[in-house]
Structure 1
Amino acid sequence: MSDADDRSTARRALIVIGLVLATLAGLALVWETRRVLIWVVVAAFFAVALNPLVDRVQQRFARRRAPATLVVFLASFVALAALGVLIVVPLLDELARFADRAPDLVRETRAGRGPIGELLERFHLRRYAEAHVDQFQRFGGQLGRSTVGLVRGTVQGVAGVLTVVVLAYLMVVQAPRITAGTLALAGGARAERLRRIGRESARTITGYLSGNLLISLICGLATFVVLALTGVPFAAVIALLVAIADLIPLVGATLGAIVAGGAGFLHSPTAGVVVLVFFVVYQQVENHLLQPVIMSHAVRLNPLTVLVSVLLAAELGGLLGALLAIPAAGIARVLFREFVPANRQAGSVPAEAGPGDRTGGPAPSERPRSGRPGPAGGRRPGRPRDGRQPAPGDQDRPPGGD
């Protein structure tokens, strides 16, 4: 092997090693900044969802972008605060009432009376609790020591929410400039394609949000009916909590079932069992029927794609993956339709052409009844209509001489 070949091989090896190291460094950077990247992705999701509403407010009420965005964000914040008041105030009243009744409940439970005491006696849990008092005390001490971690997580969560809100606000305000700059760099047909992709992607995200809200509304109404029939107090507030929790795909109904089931068991064991059975059945119906069907119409995906994308994304990305699975699948469909040629989307085998689909050829009624088409598209010269072989002297006759 010559020196030139050795240098070329070494150069290629260095290039491959450099690409591998650059890829590893990029993955390490993404992993270290994953929290910030998650905030940016969630903020972009909400910015795309709120951008059409901001455009309408800007066109009708405010000429400038920043005031219109501020009005929309303040309206959203007021709506969320109103929901919080509707949920928190009754819960605080119930907690205060529970705190007043706590000593009596403890005495009844120890004596095996009351709903909780009867439940413990029925399942022989009171003896188990009395036999493992020391373990429960140690577990309570561990929970007390983990309060610092809980407070730290709460502070980080509040900081994350504020960061997402600020990022979403800035994205919505700067959206026209970002869009105009990107389209100016693309230019021509690419700009039109990018504009079309952005419009379809925004429509996909908006459809996902509307479909998810519809599913949560159905879950909340069904929960309210079940709680009202079983006589559980504060049925409306609990149903609202369940509807908000149901915004989370796949696991939202489970979180709501914990809240509603706990309220049902506090009311009576029968109500608790009925509520748990309802949620077991409803979660299967929602995951395998409501969500695929509603999302298929809202995001324009078939139900199988919706279900498979949510399952895979939840397995790979956890809660965030489950939240972004359906819009990501819808955006992937938009990109596939834009960048894959139409003939490849339809399949490699072309459909049979109709009478008017053949370019350059006459319709069947205009073609000769017999004979194969010649060079000019008609009968072969000198061949009679009845299919007989021409006579030796007939080949010299001009076409149509008979």
Structure 2
Amino acid sequence: MRVAAEAGWRLLVLAGTVWVLMRVISAVQLVVLAFVAALLITALLQPTVARLTRHGVPRGLATALTAILGFVVMGLIGWFVTWQVMENIDNLSNQVQDGIDELRKWLLNSPFHVTPKQINEIAKNLREAVGANTDQITSAGLEGVTVIVEALTGILLTMFSTLFLLYDGRRIWEWTLKLVPSAARPGVAGAGPRAWRTLTAYVRGTVIVAMIDAIFIGLGIYFLDVPMAVPLAVFIFLFAFIPLVGAVVSGALAVVVALVTQGVFTAVLTLAVVLAVQQIEGHILQPFILGRAVRVHPLAVVLSVAAGGMVAGIGGAVVAVPLVAVTNTVVGSLRSYSQDRAVRQATTATPPAQTPTEPSEAPAS
């Protein structure tokens, strides 16, 4: 009973701590997401700063050049996606309406026993939704002063945090170590660099895999004459940062666009292209590029993405898996340090064995 009681109150304390932590994170969600995003961007850009510094460029100048180039590239990607969507949305809307009619004809002749009344009702609802809500669809999430202010605040926080992490990351880490109790400081000091290597490997590998996905799936849907192939490829690249779920969503989006604009046959071919690229990515590219440094069980990936999405939306889903990977590395490093420390203490506490001395020969009488 006493053991059960001790385990129970410890579990309650742990649950209470987690609950308080989640409440605090929810209260400052924007700040937390901005800082985590800055960490991810820093992990991607820091090798460039280090390379420039090794070639004699002052660290401040190297940081400024790398940060400006990185933010300009990300801004251009966002502008390009928005421009392409706005340029093609009217044409896509017309093609969607034509595709609905084609889909209606196919369903009427299919073996699914769909009645014309059901088809007409569904087609009417879809046509009205696409035709009447185009503006709302394209501007969803961008309306309202509060949303704009929060977005700008998050972007500015991310930019400033990235600049300081790139320029002064080592001193920030050394200051953070001073907050750790001295007894645990050596273990944390050893776990930090390992965690950073894991995060860097994850970000680099994810960017490479996302680019490969976007290029090959984009080329496939381009040659299949699917509209908005380039914006869809960019969406595939961005959604690749949400493991498992992002690939499903972006692939489904490409298939749906192909279905309503080019018909069932093109949609099937698009699905085949998406599945082929994603299978190659999942079984060959990810193990080869990411390696063992960031290996996380698929169940942990699904649960972490779901939990991150529930806590902080899309941003939480993006940062969930790298957070789990880093946590796994830190826990493993601390466990190894504790075991090594226990072995050293046991070795120090055990006195050396006394080697028996042979009795000397008695002197001859």
What TM-score comes out, normalization by structure 1 length? 0.62
**Is residue 295–residue 301 contact of structure 1 (8 Å, CA) maintained in 2?**
no
Establish whether residue 329 from structure 1 lines up as the match of residue 321 from structure 2: no
User: In the alignment, which of 82, 103, 121 is matched to residue 119 of structure 1?
Assistant: 103
Unpaired stretches in structure 2, ≥5 consecutive residues: 1-11, 109-114, 344-351
Structure of larger gyration radius: 1
**Is residue 49–residue 202 contact of structure 1 (8 Å, CA) maintained in 2?**
no
Counterpart in the other structure of 1:217: 211
Establish whether residue 171 from structure 1 lines up as the match of residue 165 from structure 2: yes
How many equivalent residue pairs?
A: 327
Counterpart in the other structure of 1:308: 299
Unpaired stretches in structure 1, ≥5 consecutive residues: 1-16, 348-358, 362-374, 382-397
Q: Structure 1 CA distance, aligned partners of 2:19 and 2:305?
A: 25
| 1:335-371 CA-partner distances (Å, limit 9, x unpaired) | 42344358689x9xxxxxxxxxxx989xxxxxxxxxx
Counterpart in the other structure of 2:336: 340
Deviation at 1:314, TM superposition (A): 1.7
Q: What amino acid maps onto 1:121 in structure 2?
A: K
Q: Structure 1 CA distance, aligned partners of 2:18 and 2:183?
A: 32
User: In the alignment, which of 63, 70, 73 is matched to residue 79 of structure 1?
Assistant: 73
SS at match of 2:241: coil
Counterpart in the other structure of 2:194: 200
Deviation at 1:48, TM superposition (A): 4.2
Q: What amino acid maps onto 2:155 in structure 1?
A: V
**Is residue 115–residue 269 contact of structure 1 (8 Å, CA) maintained in 2?**
no
Counterpart in the other structure of 2:258: 264
Establish whether residue 39 from structure 1 lines up as the match of residue 34 from structure 2: yes
Deviation at 1:79, TM superposition (A): 1.8
Deviation at 1:210, TM superposition (A): 1.6
Deviation at 1:212, TM superposition (A): 0.8
With over 3 angstroms needed to count, the CA separation of the structure-2 counterparts of 1:253 and 1:377, relative to structure 1, is farther
Counterpart in the other structure of 1:254: 248
* Aligned pairs (5 A) from 1:14-53: 28-53=23-48
With over 3 angstroms needed to count, the CA separation of the structure-2 counterparts of 1:128 and 1:159, relative to structure 1, is farther
With over 3 angstroms needed to count, the CA separation of the structure-2 counterparts of 1:301 and 1:206, relative to structure 1, is closer
With over 3 angstroms needed to count, the CA separation of the structure-2 counterparts of 1:126 and 1:47, relative to structure 1, is farther
With over 3 angstroms needed to count, the CA separation of the structure-2 counterparts of 1:198 and 1:120, relative to structure 1, is same
Q: More displaced, 160-169 or 86-95? A: 86-95
What TM-score comes out, normalization by structure 2 length? 0.67
With over 3 angstroms needed to count, the CA separation of the structure-2 counterparts of 1:93 and 1:247, relative to structure 1, is same
Q: Which has the higher contact order (CA 8 A, sep 6+)?
A: 2
With over 3 angstroms needed to count, the CA separation of the structure-2 counterparts of 1:275 and 1:19, relative to structure 1, is closer
Q: What amino acid maps onto 1:256 in structure 2?
A: S
- Aligned-pair RMSD on alpha carbons? 4.8
**Is residue 221–residue 239 contact of structure 1 (8 Å, CA) maintained in 2?**
yes
**Is residue 39–residue 163 contact of structure 1 (8 Å, CA) maintained in 2?**
yes
With over 3 angstroms needed to count, the CA separation of the structure-2 counterparts of 1:227 and 1:158, relative to structure 1, is same
With over 3 angstroms needed to count, the CA separation of the structure-2 counterparts of 1:201 and 1:18, relative to structure 1, is closer
Q: Structure 2 CA distance, aligned partners of 1:22 and 1:76?
A: 37
Q: What amino acid maps onto 2:35 in structure 1?
A: V
Deviation at 1:261, TM superposition (A): 1.9
With over 3 angstroms needed to count, the CA separation of the structure-2 counterparts of 1:324 and 1:145, relative to structure 1, is closer
Q: Structure 2 CA distance, aligned partners of 1:138 and 1:89?
A: 23
Deviation at 1:260, TM superposition (A): 2.1
Deviation at 1:204, TM superposition (A): 1.0
| 1:189-237 CA-partner distances (Å, limit 9, x unpaired) | 9766544332222211110012112221332233134324534356455
